[in-house]
């Protein structure tokens, strides 16, 4: 057992070497492998799923203890797993926007002159990220925050607040890896990759909110409950998808096929919640942003909440 653990640790350390990591996850036929992985993951075979999950665990800290199912008919079922009720308590404090997903906080800060950062020294333009049809100027001077979902994490994402999902813009693109190694090497990476721009309006005061779901290598597929389509690299359109879906705080919005990145944008009047900073691991439902001038929520503001499916 100890020998197996040591070998697993050695594999992980090897893959953490920047040059090798970048080579193995980017200098490959990314789109072709992503499509192949999509087909492979959906093969309905419990024994193949068990074998694939065992291999997956050699390279990640996959934890299925809070999964609603413990046996999976396919690898895809494991990737998109639901959680047992109450696994992700949602902060219900009225001044708080909760984290829409599990994730590691990446770059975050203030939108300045329409520019934000994917990594130190690597800026990109919001207008390019949102696409030519969307006006991102309402977020000027506001706050942005990047949440990276690793492959082993819970891959569903939820509403940060009571809101209406008004519009989705789908932009096809590449499938670069979105890990820190690639973000420090590939300029404007988020603007190159496949993504969906979700435009919401908060129910409390009509303030705008945007969540940009960015796909990545092996993960080029996004599903939203409000739309009866699977957004993927071969989706022929339409690419502008009006919605009028009311969602409650903590309600499931959709999921990635494997794992990727969410970028959250809010206008002026919000700030990062206490303790939120680059490198922090968050779970869906924990405080992410708060209204400026509002006091930090107490633990009494939490309620046993969602994470097992749409409300």
Q: How far is CA 105 from the centre of its chain?
A: 11
Edge-first strand listing for the sheet containing 230-232: 156-158, 252-256, 221-224, 230-232
Annotated catalytic residue: which of 76, 155, 158, 232? Answer: 158
Annotated catalytic residue: which of 41, 99, 102, 232? Answer: 102
Q: Is 158 a catalytic residue?
A: yes
Q: Is 102 a catalytic residue?
A: yes
* Distance in angstroms (rounded) separating the CA atoms of residues 87 and 93: 18
* Three-state secondary structure readout of 228-287: CCEEECCCCCCCEEEEEEEECCCCEEEEECCCCEEEEEECCCEEECCCCCCCCEECCCCE
Q: Which helix (H) or strand (E) holds 213?
A: strand 208-214
| Residues with Cβ within 8 Å of residue 183, at least 6 apart in sequence | 106, 118, 119, 122, 189
**What is the DSSP secondary-structure string of 89-124?**
-EE--TTEEEPSSSEEEEEEEE-BTTEEEEETTEEE
| Residues with Cβ within 8 Å of residue 138, at least 6 apart in sequence | 208, 267
Under 8 Å between Cβ of 233 and 222: no
Q: Which two tokens stand for residue 115?
A: 């520019």
Q: Which two tokens stand for residue 310?
A: 């749409």
Q: Which two tokens stand for residue 13?
A: 């350390």
- Which positions are annotated as active-site residues? 102, 158, 260
């Amino acid at each position: 057992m100890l020998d197996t653990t040591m070998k697993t640790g050695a594999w992980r350390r090897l893959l953490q070497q920047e040059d090798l990591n970048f080579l193995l996850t980017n200098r490959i036929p990314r789109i072709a492998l992503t499509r192949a992985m999509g087909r492979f993951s959906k093969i309905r075979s419990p024994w193949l799923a068990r074998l694939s999950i065992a291999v997956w665990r050699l390279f990640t800290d996959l934890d299925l203890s809070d999964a609603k199912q413990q046996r999976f008919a396919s690898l895809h079922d494991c990737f998109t797993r639901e959680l047992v009720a109450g696994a992700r308590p949602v902060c219900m404090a009225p001044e708080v926007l909760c984290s829409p997903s599990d994730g590691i906080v990446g770059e975050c800060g203030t939108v300045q002159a329409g520019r934000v950062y994917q990594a130190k020294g690597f800026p990109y333009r919001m207008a390019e990220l949102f696409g030519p049809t969307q006006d991102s100027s309402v977020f000027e001077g506001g706050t942005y925050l990047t949440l990276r979902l690793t492959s082993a994490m819970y891959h569903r994402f939820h509403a940060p607040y009571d809101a209406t999902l008004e519009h989705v813009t789908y932009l096809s693109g590449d499938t670069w890896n979105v890990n820190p190694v690639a973000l420090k090497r590939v300029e404007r990476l988020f603007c190159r990759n496949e993504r969906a721009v979700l435009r919401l309006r908060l129910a409390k005061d009509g303030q705008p909110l945007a969540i940009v779901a960015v796909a990545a290598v092996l993960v080029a597929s996004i599903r939203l409950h409000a739309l009866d389509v699977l957004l993927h690299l071969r989706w022929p359109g339409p690419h502008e998808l009006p919605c009028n879906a009311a969602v409650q705080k903590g309600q499931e919005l959709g999921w990635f096929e494997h794992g990727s990145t969410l970028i959250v944008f809010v206008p002026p009047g919000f700030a990062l919640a206490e303790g939120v900073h680059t490198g922090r691991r968050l779970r869906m439902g924990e405080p992410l942003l708060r209204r400026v001038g509002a006091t930090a929520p107490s633990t009494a503001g939490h309620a046993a909440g969602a994470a097992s499916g749409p409300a």
